[in-house]
Structure 1
Amino acid sequence: MLSAVTLTAAPALGPLLARGALHSPFKRPAADAAFPRTRLVLPGLRVDLVRLAAYERVCGFPTGEPDLPVTYPHVLGFPLAMRLMSGRDFPLPLLGLVHTSIEIVRTGALPAGGEYELAVWIQGLAPHRRGTEAAVVTALRSGGSLLWESRSTYLARHPARPGLPSDAAHPAPLPEGGALPVLAEWRLAGDVGRRYGAASGDRNPIHLHPLTARLFGFPRAIAHGMWTAARCLAAHGTPDAAVVRVRFRAPVPLPGTVAYGADGTGRFALRAPSGTLHLTGEVQPLP
């Protein structure tokens, strides 16, 4: 049973990231660990249209559209998710936590000028052959109707039982990408992480600068996973009522070049010139 906590404003991300970093060394991740049973609710939410326009520009969506991009509610819910995942009672360390997938169900268009109720909670933990995955749910409602819901999985790497599938926490197989026709090649500037961080509020140091990325074992800054998903969906397009599934396969170094591929079945993928698969996904009309 979840206990609801109503917020009056979205929490500031900076202090939450700092709190999560401080708590990380003391975490003992395990799939059977206790986790927060809290549902954070933010009623009366209205979108900051200036920040929305900055997000649209950096992700490649048209600016000034009447409806929100399909990925934008994730940005709205991210501070609430960080409040849950940065607390002492969340068993996975925030430092090193990897966003591995997202599934979005959107039932219709989301007016940019609308008023919404946002809710975020942790659905559960599951074993993974590389550690433990947490599933986090974000829901957006208006007038009592559910309009948008996502389920994100986040992986904490640690020694785990051998023989577990890498997608143990996923309810259904995600697309593999295959040899999709290449439709575009994108040259990514070194400041993509800083621009997306300014627009989304997610200023994780691994995305901002080579020096800060090296502190966490990356030779260069890497793009946000949700930026790569949004950039692909901006190119692909999404029906108003749709199911979107994305799996993040490998980091995208910045600066760099990537190839976007898609076919007529709704599948898409992002690859490096070397062939490394960074992301796979699909868009399907909602039944």
Structure 2
Amino acid sequence: MSTPPAQPAAPGHPAPARTVSATSGPRPLVPYLATTGRILRQLRNDRRTVAMILVVPALLMTLLYFIYQDVPVAPHQPVSLFDRVGMSMLGILPFIVMFLITAIAMQRERTSGTLERLLTTPLSKLDLLGGYGTAFSLAAAAQAAVACLVSFGLLDLDAAGSPLWVVIIAIVDAVLGVALGLLCSAFARTEFQAVQFMPVVVAPQIFLCGLLVPREQLPDWLQVISNVMPLSYAVDALHEVSVSAEPTGLMWRDLGIVAGFAAVALCLGAATLRRRTV
């Protein structure tokens, strides 16, 4: 049934109030969801990136399995080398992959002018960061699930705790990689320069996280440096899962520290989201 047009108000009488449609109000989630959908569509259309996210970590874990397959277990070691190193790599690989992808993707947004145009729209920095974080977190969740499925289901990786906790820690590590990649992209002018941050930001954390040498066996000054690197706490959290059947207080503490580092890096990354032209 059609609504008759409003009649003009008579002289000396106030005009009738207009009826505001319920759908014309502000919709704060629309920009955030639009940004998330745009990033996910870009990832879906980039098959090489999808393969890097989903396939490469599983292949590297398979390679690691064959490397340690015939290595005998030392009498003083409670677990095999593959179980010890593989558990740590389930947290390290998502961190590395998501750092690279995010740094390159955000730098591409900057150099192509997409970020410049987005910042001239009503889209807020929170919507932009939230969209990136959500999209890449979903990708990280899929990556962690595939890597853990291959490791625990096909490669017989053994842990005292539930593989679900390994997946959760791996996702948090991947979000940390997203946050640091977003932050580092602000200091690069090209995609090649963004990749160059990997040996500066990522490699020292791999060397000092306890993967190569237990952190308590490092020289004192290296232990101090290791204590301020978030990947050290991610590896410690995974170690707690590997030796304890139930979540421990140390695991929760280490996981919280990693999440805190990611939040700080995202806040610093937000400060870099500014227009370069006036």
Shared topology, TM-score over 0.5? no
Q: Give the structure with the larger helix fraction.
A: 2
RCO (CA 8 Å, sep 6+): is it higher in 1 or 2? Answer: 2
Q: Mark the structure with the bigger radius of gyration.
A: 2
TM-score, length basis structure 2: 0.31
